[in-house]
Structure 1
Amino acid sequence: MSDFDAIDSLLAAVGPEAELPSPQIRQELRERARLSKAQVARALGVSPSTVAAWESGRDPAGEIRTKYAYLLDGLAAKFATGTASATPSAVEPAVAPTPATTDTPPALPSSPMPEEPEEDGDDDEVEALAAPEPCVLCGHPAGQRVAGFVQHLAPADCRPATAGNPAAVPAPPAVKPVQATKPTAARTSPTTTRPPERSHGPARRAFQEPSGPGDLIGQAVKAALAEHHGDVEAATAVLLKRAIPDAMRLLDETRKGARYDVIAHPWIPDILKKQTSRGADQIWEARPKWTRHELPPGKHEVTALDINGAYLSALKTHLPLGQLEHSTGLPHDRRRAGVHLITPPAWEHEDVLPNPIGNRDEPGPLWVTEPTLRLLLRLSGPKYGLCAPPEIHESYTSGATENLLEKFRIALKDARDAAIAEGDEVTLEYVKAMYSKFVSTMGESNYNRELYRPDWMHIIRSQAFSNLWLKALKAHDEGLTVVRAMGTDELHVIGDWHRVFPEGRGVTEVKVKDTYTAGTDIDDSTGEEQE
């Protein structure tokens, strides 16, 4: 009977889940109370992106669900009894400054309030410049700085500007999705609380916080080692299990002060959804899996090179910011990114280089990601002329930036570099798990419910594949014989690779994975090849 008793105890512990209102009601209750996602997240012990996910249709589970339901029930009760005014008054000064404070910057870090409008506001994501500066995308004057970089937001504005309107700020809907209406004070706060002189600071000031996000990595490692009394193996195991939530926390930390309003759970077209529970979606990532058919005559020493931090480097790629928008019959717009239905060009260099779209047996159109399309366009251009341009049939894209994850990438890279220099294998394995699992779980995964961006996952993976392909091209152009290209980090070559690639463990370096002999001997008397 002990087995049945155990089952009965499990059944007794399972109770009905707390009821939650619809996602729209959840957001309306929070906004009516003048509470930011950051405030709700701190109260519940989650990240702001998790709260955004709940308001986009995802549901929490377990104890967090009970707490969230309790909060929402409390807010609904306050509004029903007419006592809701107490809640907004506590935060109203940070959201709606009076005219007397319009020339004063937001409160200093002694209060958590300054970051909240940036977590929850729309217009506060864009900083207007006192004087136009060159756009990082097109080089022409732009009137706003975004994520520390001067640029236009709307694709139509990223072109030669007229002298009569050099500092026009484009409307954000082309980049960010339409969200629920927010209080008027929140919409006007960027122009009233940000002093003009701040725009004259360093363009990359957002990267210069003295207690940067990299501290989170070091603190986590120290805490794990202390908890396990210096047991390296036990501390590493614990850190690897925490890699996904810790990566999301690091991402949230690096997003503080950001000007982009990133959607964690946007609407996704069917092509990005799995066709079956265990199947795949319709996106082709162009993963290389290529081996040279014939080697030059003779026997050769082949070096298998390992490309360091492939996924970490691939975090620097053009990512769509908001909800993907469908288009047909339009040429490629470099200020947007997403997925594209193309007919790839014929590839006539299979004997010396892999096909840029990877191994594909079926002819005809296929859906590819932004990095794959950009690689094909680059190879079809006048510099290389290796193939014809791909034919673009339709696309799902959004306004994009290459620097969306840049602070996140730099924090991980710096921690990785320091760990290598100090021989700290615990931190090294922890950091590797953070960025690799971050990429692999942002699609349809049960391990990461805070970020659902399968488009990002495909794009980052494809960028890693594209980076490897370009290394193969560089090796070929420098006179090396490319023997094999596999996945994200495996490149086999014949020749003096040291003059082409620096050796080391850094993300811009390569290390030797293996060496072996390939090819056949030649009989000097007959001139024939021998095994």
Structure 2
Amino acid sequence: MSDFDAIDSLLDAVGPQAELPPCQVRRELRERARLSKAQVARALGVSPSTLSGWESGRDPAGEVRTKYAYLLDGLNAKLATETETKTMAEPAAERPVASGTAAAAVTCTSSPEVGQDEDEVELLAVPEPCVLCGRPAEQRVAGFAQHLDPSDCQATPVETPKPEPAAPSTQAHEPRTVRPPRPAGGKGTAPRGRAFQEPSGPADLIHEAVHAVLAEHRGDVEAASAVLLKRAIPDAMRLLDETRKGARYDVIAHPWIPDILKKQTSRGADQIWEARPKWTRPELPPGKHEVTALDINGAYLSALKTHLPLGQLEHSTGFAHDRRRAGVHLITPPAWEHDAVLPNPIGQRDEPGPLWVTEPTLRLLLRLSGPKHGLCEPPQIHESYTSGATENLLEKFRIALKDARDTAIADGDGLTFEYVKAMYSKFVSTMGESNYNRELYRPDWMHIIRSQAFANLWMKALKAHDAGLTVVRAMGTDELHVIGDWRRVFPEGRSVTEVKVKDTYTAGTGTEAGTGQEQ
């Protein structure tokens, strides 16, 4: 290729981008054509979560934008023709009532979210704004108004029924569907990105991926492991898409995010404090002691069960905490007077005054200030960014990963075990501002899940302390050092409900406090 040919290629690539209709229209066209997100995403070579973003405010770019515009133009032309055909064929008295009238009301049904009780649905005499989209909803679930069907969370007109197939006709006036011209190079061009196949089930996705990669590399475990670890993020997103099928709520992949959740500089951090514990007991009881460093299994996997905000975060002020909502909160933490025996629930923080914390940290402080524990005063809440929440949003996703992990342990399958571990750990770590996962931008979820893992570790420290063990150290999400018979408090094993020994060392009089180096 000559220099001029290369320049011509660049000029061709810089041409004007294909025009796209507004987000609401994109969704209306797909739903009126009775196409699922999975069908459209598969045709375009993207994930259903990415398509959700395009129907909620984001715009694609490059080649996939041209293909998406071609699809929408085709749907628009086809649906317009079908509507015209039906209008000409029906008597005026039988034509459908216009959208927006009482006679056009549609009763929606949907399978409930995992853990949701159907009895929690309350019919409203007067519609109230939906907590997700703000449009009128006629039901209240778990105390807040919302649509039961995700499709109702947009101003979607009543679907036009497809006409019955007509007998072949040679009449010249018969209307025909006119498709837009195919984009240049469109025929025979496979869409880029992930090719989604219809899976047989969430658990099978993991096992099929491992078996396929092993077969491709002729049983070379090391080579297969390298490939699977690189695929961990897109495969986790595919698993998420599969486990969300039939769920009550859509995963909003790219919502509006307040400035406190955005990085202040390219390499800096946002303003959220995750309360990561990094604590060592200042003094041990007299004498020498055998300390056991316990490893908490699947800390991030267990933390996927946490209260996650569903819709766009909304700002509020005041001291009240609504347990039906979740998000981030500006609080003044209470004084902590038990640092000699237990870590501070907000972690090691030098600066006094208010700070932004996540939902799990706030709920932990409120729990510890309650009558059962009475370990501190309640935190002062100044302002919050929250949305209606559910604890079960990622529950099917978590269970699929947990089951695959348990099976891998039982079978001694180290390859699948490391693959599953990479899927959930990288899923959590890349859903913020990351170049490795552009299908999900939820820094609020990332902070909340990680903080839930810290809160889970803190509660294990409290459980050990209440059972008479001496808590020596608590670090990160999965490391707890104790003195005493810990087996009567924690079951030993490799499941996510068990702990395993990471190290043992001697500490106390005549020795320096051990560091618990991993063996």
What is the correspondence of 1:61-460 to structure 2 with a 5 Å cutoff? 65-73=62-70, 75-76=72-73, 79=76, 84-85=79-80, 124=108, 126=110, 142-143=121-122, 171-172=145-146, 180-185=154-159, 211-460=200-449
Equivalence for 1:53? 53
CA distance in 2, matches of 1:253, 1:74: 23
CA shift in 2, pair 1:50/1:140, >3 Å = closer
| Cα displacement (A) at 1:476 | 0.6
CA shift in 2, pair 1:167/1:288, >3 Å = closer
| Preserved CA contact (<8 Å) 1:175 1:399 | no
Equivalence for 2:491? 502
CA shift in 2, pair 1:40/1:518, >3 Å = same
More helix as a share of residues: 1
Q: Does 1:462 align with 2:462?
A: no
| Cα displacement (A) at 1:480 | 0.8
CA distance in 2, matches of 1:491, 1:449: 34
User: Unpaired runs of 5+ in structure 1?
Assistant: 90-98, 100-121, 145-151, 156-164, 188-209, 523-531
| Preserved CA contact (<8 Å) 1:213 1:253 | yes
CA shift in 2, pair 1:422/1:168, >3 Å = closer
CA shift in 2, pair 1:186/1:501, >3 Å = farther
CA shift in 2, pair 1:253/1:75, >3 Å = closer
| Preserved CA contact (<8 Å) 1:52 1:264 | yes
Q: Structure 2 length normalisation: TM-score?
A: 0.76
Aligned length: 439
CA distance in 2, matches of 1:233, 1:13: 40
Residue-by-residue CA offset, 1:316-375 (whole Å, 9 max, x unaligned): 000111111111115111111111110000000001000000010111111100000000
Q: Partner letter of residue 25 of structure 1? A: P
| Preserved CA contact (<8 Å) 1:303 1:515 | yes
Q: Structure 1 length normalisation: TM-score?
A: 0.75
Name the SS of the counterpart of 1:436 in structure 2.
Answer: helix
| Preserved CA contact (<8 Å) 1:126 1:260 | no
| Preserved CA contact (<8 Å) 1:265 1:452 | yes
CA shift in 2, pair 1:43/1:123, >3 Å = farther
| Preserved CA contact (<8 Å) 1:154 1:175 | no
| Preserved CA contact (<8 Å) 2:148 2:248 | no
Identity level (%): 72
| Preserved CA contact (<8 Å) 2:27 2:55 | no
| Cα displacement (A) at 1:125 | 6.9
CA distance in 1, matches of 2:107, 2:238: 24
Q: Which segment is superposed worse, 424-433 or 178-187?
A: 178-187
CA distance in 1, matches of 2:413, 2:428: 23
CA distance in 2, matches of 1:22, 1:326: 34
CA distance in 1, matches of 2:45, 2:116: 39
| Preserved CA contact (<8 Å) 1:24 1:55 | no
CA shift in 2, pair 1:305/1:518, >3 Å = same
| Cα displacement (A) at 1:173 | 6.4
Q: Partner letter of residue 53 of structure 1? A: G
Equivalence for 1:39? 39
CA shift in 2, pair 1:329/1:78, >3 Å = closer
| Cα displacement (A) at 1:520 | 1.2
CA distance in 2, matches of 1:250, 1:128: 20
Q: Partner letter of residue 313 of structure 1? A: S
| Preserved CA contact (<8 Å) 1:285 1:458 | yes
CA shift in 2, pair 1:494/1:8, >3 Å = farther
User: Unpaired runs of 5+ in structure 2?
Assistant: 85-93, 95-105, 132-138, 162-198, 512-519
CA distance in 2, matches of 1:465, 1:168: 27
| Preserved CA contact (<8 Å) 2:300 2:424 | yes
| Preserved CA contact (<8 Å) 2:23 2:57 | no
CA shift in 2, pair 1:86/1:438, >3 Å = farther
Name the SS of the counterpart of 2:159 in structure 1.
Answer: helix
| Preserved CA contact (<8 Å) 1:239 1:430 | yes
| Preserved CA contact (<8 Å) 1:306 1:512 | yes
Name the SS of the counterpart of 1:184 in structure 2.
Answer: coil
* Structure 1 counterpart of 2:461, from 462, 468, 472: 472
| Cα displacement (A) at 1:67 | 3.4
| Cα displacement (A) at 1:57 | 4.5
Equivalence for 2:176? none
Name the SS of the counterpart of 1:239 in structure 2.
Answer: helix
Q: Partner letter of residue 500 of structure 1? A: V
Name the SS of the counterpart of 2:392 in structure 1.
Answer: coil
Name the SS of the counterpart of 2:205 in structure 1.
Answer: helix
| Cα displacement (A) at 1:505 | 0.5
Q: Partner letter of residue 284 of structure 2? A: L
| Cα displacement (A) at 1:40 | 1.9
Name the SS of the counterpart of 1:85 in structure 2.
Answer: helix
Q: Partner letter of residue 372 of structure 1? A: T
| Cα displacement (A) at 1:239 | 0.5
CA distance in 2, matches of 1:362, 1:124: 51
CA distance in 1, matches of 2:375, 2:320: 20
CA distance in 2, matches of 1:223, 1:423: 19
CA distance in 1, matches of 2:329, 2:29: 40
CA shift in 2, pair 1:432/1:328, >3 Å = same
Structure 1 stretches of at least 4 aligned residues deviating more than 6 Å after TM superposition = 5-13, 152-155, 165-170, 173-178
| Preserved CA contact (<8 Å) 1:340 1:396 | yes
CA distance in 2, matches of 1:456, 1:401: 12
